[in-house]
């Protein structure tokens, strides 16, 4: 078979997959743009070819002077299904900034309204070493802060604090929607909600951004709804990171390591889907052996890739 014919067949298959993937969406149309990644990679170079970027720039949040390291991003067989591969974010510390490693991975800055979802494995305890650090396990979208208190800043967070923090007890999930902030002195303008419950294991996180409201769901249950004052104004990147709350570092010089896994991430533009529909769409993509799909257009004008604060 010629290369041209092969490319044509591949193109037809991709179009048919997109249609299948959203056919179960209530009222969704076949032209809705989708970003889906199954994280079926062996190396980060493969993920980078599909738009992922590792943070290496030092700075907020976390331990001042800590290194953000690409080596903390890896790919592993799912412990419950060896036919499935997951992305792992690994971070570690011995209490010193010099030996603290934090991890962040980002996708292109082109997302705003629609439905965001990811299947994430949270851990309540370190992989090894003493427990007790303020650890933040996340799925979120963010834009650069152009200036302190910039009113056009946009950020929407799922943050799981297994050992508590920010005035809340252990095993707390935060949903935070940001209008803006100033870093020094820290001045937040946001709306947040919490639930306190162990989320050890796999969880499906979903965020609907539509109708001037942000609705956060955990495993199909609505637990936060935020209003128009914190509704995103500008395009954001999709992110996962794992970092330490500087004020809650355990007083121990023994190295300890934490990780979170990500099974898949899914975004559909300008469409509001519930958790079950997203799960059905992901299953349809996997049934077609689609490991990665991105039909979300670049923002106009195109924005530089962004993987930092």
Cα 276 to the chain's mean position, in Å?
Answer: 19
* pLDDT value at 30 more than 70: no
* % of the chain surpassing 70 pLDDT: 90
Rounded to an integer, what distance in angstroms lies between the CA atom of residue 166 and that of residue 114? Answer: 29
φ, ψ dihedrals at 54, nearest 5°: -95, 140
Quote the pLDDT of residue 266.
98
* pLDDT value at 113 more than 50: yes
Q: Which residue has the higher pLDDT, 109 or 82?
A: 109
Quote the pLDDT of residue 2.
45
Quote the pLDDT of residue 83.
85
Confidence of residue 8 (pLDDT cuts 50, 70, 90): very low
The pTM of the full predicted model, rounded to 2 decimals, is: 0.91
Condensed to tens digits (0 to 9), the pLDDT of residues 168-193 reads 999 999 999 999 999 999 999 999 99
Lowest mean pLDDT among 70-84, 92-106, 208-222, 250-264: 70-84
Cβ contact 28:281 at 8 Å? no
Quote the pLDDT of residue 80.
81
Condensed to tens digits (0 to 9), the pLDDT of residues 192-245 reads 999 999 999 999 999 999 999 999 999 999 999 999 999 999 999 999 999 999
* pLDDT value at 16 more than 50: no
Confidence of residue 24 (pLDDT cuts 50, 70, 90): very low
φ, ψ dihedrals at 254, nearest 5°: -80, 135
Cβ contact 102:142 at 8 Å? no
Q: How many CA atoms lie within 13 A of 239 on its CB side?
A: 28
Domains delineated in the chain:
32-294 (2.60.120.200)
Give the other-Cβ count within 10 Å of 33's Cβ: 18
Condensed to tens digits (0 to 9), the pLDDT of residues 244-266 reads 999 999 999 999 999 999 999 99
What separation in angstroms does the CA of 164 have from each of 96, 104, 171, 235, 287?
20, 20, 6, 30, 39
Quote the pLDDT of residue 35.
98
Q: What is the mean pLDDT of residues 45-55?
A: 97
* % of the chain surpassing 90 pLDDT: 87
């Amino acid at each position: 078979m010629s290369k041209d014919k092969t490319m044509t067949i591949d193109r037809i298959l991709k179009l048919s997959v997109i249609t299948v993937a959203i056919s179960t969406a209530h009222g969704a149309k076949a032209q809705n743009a989708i970003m889906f990644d199954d994280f079926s990679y062996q190396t980060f170079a493969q993920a980078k070819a599909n738009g992922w970027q590792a943070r290496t720039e030092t700075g907020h949040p976390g331990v001042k002077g800590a290194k953000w390291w690409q080596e903390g991003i890896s790919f592993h067989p799912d412990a419950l299904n060896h036919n499935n591969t997951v992305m792992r974010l690994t971070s570690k510390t011995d209490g010193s900034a010099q030996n603290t490693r934090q991890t962040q991975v980002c996708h292109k800055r082109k997302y705003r309204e629609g439905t965001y979802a990811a299947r994430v494995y949270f851990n309540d305890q370190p992989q090894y070493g003493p427990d007790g650090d303020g650890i933040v396990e996340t799925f979120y979208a963010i834009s650069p802060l152009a200036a302190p208190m910039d009113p056009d800043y946009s950020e929407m967070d799922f943050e799981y604090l297994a050992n508590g923090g920010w005035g809340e007890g252990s095993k707390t999930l935060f949903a935070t929607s940001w209008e803006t902030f100033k870093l020094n002195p820290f001045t937040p303008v946001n709306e947040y909600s919490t639930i306190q419950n162990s989320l050890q294991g796999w969880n499906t996180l979903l965020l609907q951004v539509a109708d001037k409201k942000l609705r956060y769901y955990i495993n199909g249950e609505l637990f936060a709804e935020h209003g128009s004052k914190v509704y995103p104004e500008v395009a954001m990147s999709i992110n996962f990171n794992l970092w330490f709350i500087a004020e809650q570092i355990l007083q121990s010089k023994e190295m300890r390591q934490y990780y979170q896994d990500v099974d898949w991430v899914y975004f559909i533009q300008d469409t509001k889907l519930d958790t079950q529909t997203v799960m059905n769409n992901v299953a349809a993509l996997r049934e077609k052996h689609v490991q990665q799909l991105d039909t979300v257009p670049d923002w106009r004008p195109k924005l530089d890739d962004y993987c930092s604060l």
